[in-house]
Structure 1
Amino acid sequence: MDDLDQRAAMSLGPLAKGETARFFAASRLEGIDCLSATFRTHVYPPHMHETYVVGTIESGWEKVSALGMKGRAGPGDLVFVMPQDVHDGAPAEGGYSYRMTYPAEEFLRDLAEAVSRRPAPAAPFFRSPVVHDPEGARLFSAAHEALESGVDGLAGEELMLRAYARAFVLHAGVPPAPAGEEAGPVHRVRDLIEARYAEDLSLAELAAVAGFSRDHLIRVFRRSVGITPHAYVVDVRVRRAQDRLRAGRAPAEVAAEVGFADQAHLTRAFKARIGVAPAAYRRAVAA
């Protein structure tokens, strides 16, 4: 059998009506390839990757053969395929929609070392190709969707690292290092965010200020502050938006000034934290 990668396997036949497939690269995560797709009739022949395959089924069911096992994956399941392992895939019961990533072995080994804070003798080994983990699946879907939309780069970067790290601990036996409060580094990150909240900050930049890996920063910051670095950025932006709205500024102008992609992006974050839309808030409190 000739080796096939994912793109080659997909190119063996045209997509049927109602099927979609989109590849994109997660630029902040070393260019990891990502796929979002819906398949009704498309069947993958046996193929393999030089990378891992990590993803989740969002709706429907997929028949999967991998690691010598045959089974089905559906909503709430995470899917793991190791590098160079032959696997296939076919729709069951009307098809399925899924989100997949293809991280390189070196990337996941480095991330696993960051999670455990000790050298990893090998890249993580996932014990089963399909595991039922609804919370992990929801986290992965949110991360993948954020990366695909490109609206908030820090959100996608942070969510996907959290999703991978959670999978390591629960499904690959990687022991997490304890995360203390470590006040000094956390304060430096908070100060940077307070000063540059309107910029398109990256998790790598915040981690460098703290002197931590990206994964360790997420865990330490969350333990110390109560929310993740990305959530803190959004909170600061909302607070600075409140200042401008109280001065009578228009929500569309405010959104751009404080770092949101557009007024709709501001409105979602503002309502989630304040309880009303920015325009309603301005009418109520503007001087």
Structure 2
Amino acid sequence: MPRTASTREQARFTFAQDLAGMEMLTASYRAHRFAPHVHDTYVIALIERGAEQFRCGRADWLAPAGSLVIVPPGALHTGQRGCDAGWSYRVFYPAPQLLVALMAEWPGATPAPPAFGDTVLTDPPLFRVLHHLHLLLHGEACALHRASAWRTAMGALLLRHAGLAPRQPGRETSAVRRAQDLLRADAGATLGLTDLASAVGLSPWYLNRVFARDVGMPPHAWRNQWRLAQAKTLLRRGQAPAKVAAALGFADQSHLHRQFKRAFGVTPGVYRGECGGGKRS
């Protein structure tokens, strides 16, 4: 991670290629002062520690830890520390068309670049879900998980703070059941949310929402639970963890190891041995 003049300052940009190359920033600043500048994207910042002081338009703002900052495209703004310790934050830079594309998936919505009511927001539940999304987009999550988390988090932001109210979802029992069948058949865990939604005749955002409502969890989480249940069955039959991981579409054996232990409290190898499967191939 490149460091600035102060050893307490660091900044790293990453890019979400599956979200039109959206930029993301993870940074800590103490002495740095941003000159007045603009972006051609939205700025959605999560203040993790300290506080940031900035001017946006004609107003001065102070964003403390736990707050969200939203700057629209083209808005002139600055940035500097708002307390002696400086500030640490995580930032999304979604292009307007990325949010418009998300809104186009909503029933009855009119896709247009959203206008947010406030520049600094205090919304702890939303902060947590956006923070989780930022972390997830840097990790090993599969395409289905990433797409689902993106729609859940950014959808919540738009619904809560952009004055948007799409039509409430109706009953889609047959579509949800069909989606479950397709996820069961997706042995390699390669099916993405867009393809899954297209196969059942719904938009990705709408399917994600009605699936979570009817099943109690979004599609990626349900598929993961089903895969873990299948993993237990295969391990009881004596299959080696590496073979089980490959058969069920886990990234590798260590990925299965982490998921299995998180769910059941033991590793796949220990579970296989305790089931008497350790002597079989």
Query: Unpaired runs of 5+ in structure 2?
Result: none
* 2:86 aligned to which of 79, 95, 98: 95
In structure 2, relative to structure 1, the CA distance for the partners of 1:20 and 1:156 (3 Å cut) is farther
TM-score scaled by length of structure 1: 0.86
**Structure-2 residue corresponding to 1:183:** 173
**Structure-2 residue corresponding to 1:114:** 105
TM alignment of 1:127-206, pairs within 5 A = 127-206=117-196
Contact 1:143–1:157, Cα closer than 8 Å, also in 2: no
Q: CA deviation at 1:180?
A: 2.4
* 1:222 aligned to which of 212, 216, 219: 212
Question: How many residue pairs align between the two structures?
Answer: 275
**Structure-2 residue corresponding to 1:231:** 221
Letter in 1 for 2:92: T
**Structure-2 residue corresponding to 1:210:** 200
TM-score scaled by length of structure 2: 0.88
More deviation in 236-245 or 268-277?
268-277
Deviations 1:48-72 (A, max 9, x none): 1111111312222222322433222
* 1:21 aligned to which of 11, 28, 45: 11
Q: CA deviation at 1:132?
A: 1.0
Q: Does 1:105 align with 2:96?
A: yes
CA distance in 2, matches of 1:159, 1:52: 19
Contact 1:245–1:286, Cα closer than 8 Å, also in 2: no
More deviation in 108-117 or 226-235?
108-117
In structure 2, relative to structure 1, the CA distance for the partners of 1:270 and 1:140 (3 Å cut) is same
Q: CA deviation at 1:197?
A: 4.0
Q: CA deviation at 1:236?
A: 1.8
More deviation in 229-238 or 62-71?
62-71
Q: Does 1:46 align with 2:36?
A: yes
Q: Does 1:243 align with 2:202?
A: no
Contact 1:115–1:165, Cα closer than 8 Å, also in 2: no
SS at match of 1:24: strand
**Structure-2 residue corresponding to 1:255:** 245
Deviations 1:108-131 (A, max 9, x none): 1232243353224x3111111111
Contact 1:181–1:221, Cα closer than 8 Å, also in 2: no
Letter in 2 for 1:117: G
**Structure-2 residue corresponding to 1:278:** 268
Q: CA deviation at 1:172?
A: 0.9
Letter in 1 for 2:74: Q
CA distance in 2, matches of 1:64, 1:250: 56
SS at match of 1:110: helix
Percentage of pairs with the same residue: 37
For the aligned residue pairs, the C-alpha RMSD in angstroms reads 2.3
Query: Unpaired runs of 5+ in structure 1?
Result: 1-10
Deviations 1:164-186 (A, max 9, x none): 11011111111132122312221
Q: CA deviation at 1:206?
A: 1.5
Q: CA deviation at 1:157?
A: 2.4
SS at match of 2:125: helix
Q: CA deviation at 1:15?
A: 4.9
In structure 2, relative to structure 1, the CA distance for the partners of 1:61 and 1:251 (3 Å cut) is farther
CA distance in 1, matches of 2:100, 2:42: 11
- Structure with a larger share of its residues in helix: 1
CA distance in 1, matches of 2:107, 2:36: 34
In structure 2, relative to structure 1, the CA distance for the partners of 1:168 and 1:265 (3 Å cut) is same
SS at match of 2:114: coil
Q: CA deviation at 1:234?
A: 0.9
Deviations 1:229-259 (A, max 9, x none): 1101211221121122112333344333322
CA distance in 2, matches of 1:202, 1:30: 16
CA distance in 1, matches of 2:31, 2:246: 44
In structure 2, relative to structure 1, the CA distance for the partners of 1:66 and 1:236 (3 Å cut) is same
Deviations 1:134-173 (A, max 9, x none): 1111111111111112443332222122111101111111
After the TM superposition, list the runs of 4 or more consecutive aligned residues in structure 1 that deviate by more than 6 angstroms.
Answer: none
